[in-house]
Amino acid sequence: MTVQAFWKATKIENARSPYDTIQIKVFYPALIPDSQQTFSDCPANRAEAPFPVVIFFSGVNCNLAMYEWLASKLVSRGLVVILFNWLAENIPGNISLTPGVNFAAFSSDVYGTIPTASALPALLAELESLNTFGILAGLLDLQKIILGGHSAGGRLALENANTQFFSQVVAAFGYGTHSAAPTQLGYEPGTILSLPNSTPMLLIGGTHDGVIANNSRIYGVNEWKTAVTPVVRTFEEAISREQGDAYLVLLEGANHFSVADRLDSTLRVTALDFPPSQPPAQIRSVIAELVSLFIDFHVRQQLGASQQLEQLLKDHNSLIASFQCK
């Protein structure tokens, strides 16, 4: 299947100018016309429409280009994928690319009662527009929205997979993320915040995640027992759903940025990471297969996806250190 993309932009309500616009890149299954290519967008391949949609939240200061490889893999399976860049002043005086964290939603008296993803309502509204006008008109399954993300963006994906807030969200996945609570917000050290229990979830971590290991003091912990301790605790303590569709997969030798390609070495946070001990391309391949089969099984109900996912998890793959399902 041919993967193509086009750009859109939209405003974020209540955001202060000039930080009120997000740039959106829409990846979709396409048909390449037989005639000579022009600057117009290629038509969509309608064969597998309507397409479920993945909205992916990047890590802080991570450009969407770092995740285009994953978007392309998912589109080749018959999905539409949304990536976006939002430059904003999330913390006073600190301008950065952000997945759109609503910090007001994390206070102890508010958490869990309102969405934590401030960009999500605008993205969902943009999907309605895409399904009305243009090359994807009538081709999107807007009752099958999957949230995914990396690091802080992965946390937003899991926290906002709440059908009480967004009824069209049907599943979520996150890489290199957890729901530990920063003590700066008044939480006790080592607190793990609960996640919604209304959709299937896939949580993936890397045993060499240096960013999680080196940021433990944010959560009032001198040192996590392992680099994936808060990831494991999030699965065990924060996810109460037990319907056989919640997964924790730990990848041997993967680090915090194993989900990213074309890593930006100028980002200070990358210096905190541990080096991976496995080939990056092989790690990304397993991540893509895990996410794809999770969606094929629990969202698209594709024949054989259940067995393929089980085989991937249990087939003594050297890159899978461990997994749990509940």
Give me the domain span that covers residue 315. Answer: 2-325
pLDDT of residue 32: 80
- Residue 284 dihedral angles phi and psi, to the nearest 5°: -60, -35
pLDDT of residue 313: 93
Q: What does the buried/exposed string (b/e) look like for 23-45 if buried means 16 or more CB atoms within 10 Å of the residue's CB?
A: ebbbbbbbeeeeeeeeeeebebb
- Residue 323 dihedral angles phi and psi, to the nearest 5°: -150, 155
Which of 15, 247, 250, 255 minimizes the C-alpha distance to 151?
255
pLDDT of residue 192: 98
How far is residue 304 from each of residues 85, 293, 300, 307, measured CA to CA in Å? 36, 10, 11, 5
CA geometry: angle 120, 122, 126, nearest 5 deg: 115
CATH code, 167:
3.40.50.1820
- Helix, strand, or coil here: 319? coil
pLDDT of residue 150: 98
DSSP 236: I
pLDDT tens digits, the chain, 326 residues: what are they?
799 999 999 999 889 899 999 999 999 999 986 665 555 679 999 998 999 999 999 999 999 999 999 999 999 999 999 999 999 987 767 899 999 999 899 999 999 999 999 999 999 999 999 999 999 999 999 999 999 999 999 999 999 999 999 999 999 999 999 999 999 999 999 999 999 999 999 999 999 999 999 999 999 999 999 999 999 999 999 999 999 999 999 999 999 999 999 888 887 778 899 999 999 999 999 999 999 999 999 999 999 999 999 999 988 788 999 999 99
Asked if the peptide bond before residue 50 counts as cis, ω within 30 degrees of 0, the response is: yes
Q: Helices marked H in 165-256 — which ranges?
A: 210-214, 229-233
Token representation of residue 213: 């290991």
CA geometry: angle 50, 74, 6, nearest 5 deg: 75
Q: How many CB atoms lie within 10 A of CB 125?
A: 13
| CA separation for the pair 67, 244 (Å, rounded) | 28
Beta bridge partners of 83: 25
| CA separation for the pair 295, 52 (Å, rounded) | 9
Q: How many CB atoms lie within 10 A of CB 318?
A: 10
- Total domains in the fold of the chain: 1
> pTM for this structure?
0.96
